[in-house]
């Protein structure tokens, strides 16, 4: 991206409610903005950036991000199974519902892991 485009993009984000931060992108050195969601964003890489203090924290953040991805996949599967229910007979439904119940269980557990992790970081 052209430097002036990056500056324009940052200005746009700030107008939309994002805040400039004293941090820079580890990949390209561009000033990071904090989005309204609380995430740090690099307008040049067009990626959210996670700042960490230690290796351990980096690993933990990475795990949370990966778990979030798994959670999204599980969620999609639940929706998919839900949509398929309509076409099924009552006896076919049993297996489907069993799978859905299992997926919902996993989804709930993944959600719990995520909220525990964000609570932990809010406390420190």
Give the residues lining the site for Zn ion (CB under 5 A).
25, 27-28, 30, 42, 44-45
Q: How far is Cα 31 from Cα 87, in angstroms, rounded to an integer?
A: 52
Closest to Zn ion by CB, 40 vs 113, is: 40
Residue 65 or 94: which CB sits closer to Zn ion? 65
Please state the closest distance from residue 25 (CB atom) to Zn ion, in A: 3
State the CB neighbour count (10 A cutoff) for residue 42: 23
User: Which residue is at the shortest CB distance from Zn ion?
Assistant: 25
58 in Cβ contact with 52 (< 8 Å): yes
Smallest distance from the beta carbon of 34 to Zn ion, in angstroms? 15
Closest approach of Cβ 29 to Zn ion, in Å? 7
Pairing between β-strand 19-24 and β-strand 40-42 as defined by DSSP bridges: unpaired
| DSSP state string for 22-73 | EEE-TTT-PEEEE-TTS-EEETTTTEEE---SSHHHHHHHHHHHHHHHHHHH
| Residue number, 25 or 40, with CB nearest to Zn ion | 25
Q: How far is CA 82 from CA 31, 77, 86, in A?
A: 44, 8, 8
Nearer Cβ to Zn ion (14/73)? 14
Please state the closest distance from residue 42 (CB atom) to Zn ion, in A.
3
């Amino acid at each position: 991206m052209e430097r002036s485009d990056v500056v324009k993009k940052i200005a746009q984000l700030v107008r939309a409610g994002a805040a400039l931060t004293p941090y820079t992108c580890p990949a390209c050195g561009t000033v990071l903005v904090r989005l309204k969601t609380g995430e740090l964003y690099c307008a040049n890489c067009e990626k959210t950036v996670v700042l960490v203090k230690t290796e351990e924290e980096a690993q933990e953040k990475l795990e949370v991000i990966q778990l979030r991805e798994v959670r999204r996949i599980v969620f999609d599967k639940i929706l998919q199974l839900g949509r398929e229910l309509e076409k099924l007979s009552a006896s076919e439904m049993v297996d489907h519902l069993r799978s859905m119940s299992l997926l919902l269980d996993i989804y709930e557990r993944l959600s719990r892991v995520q909220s525990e992790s964000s609570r932990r970081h809010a406390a420190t």
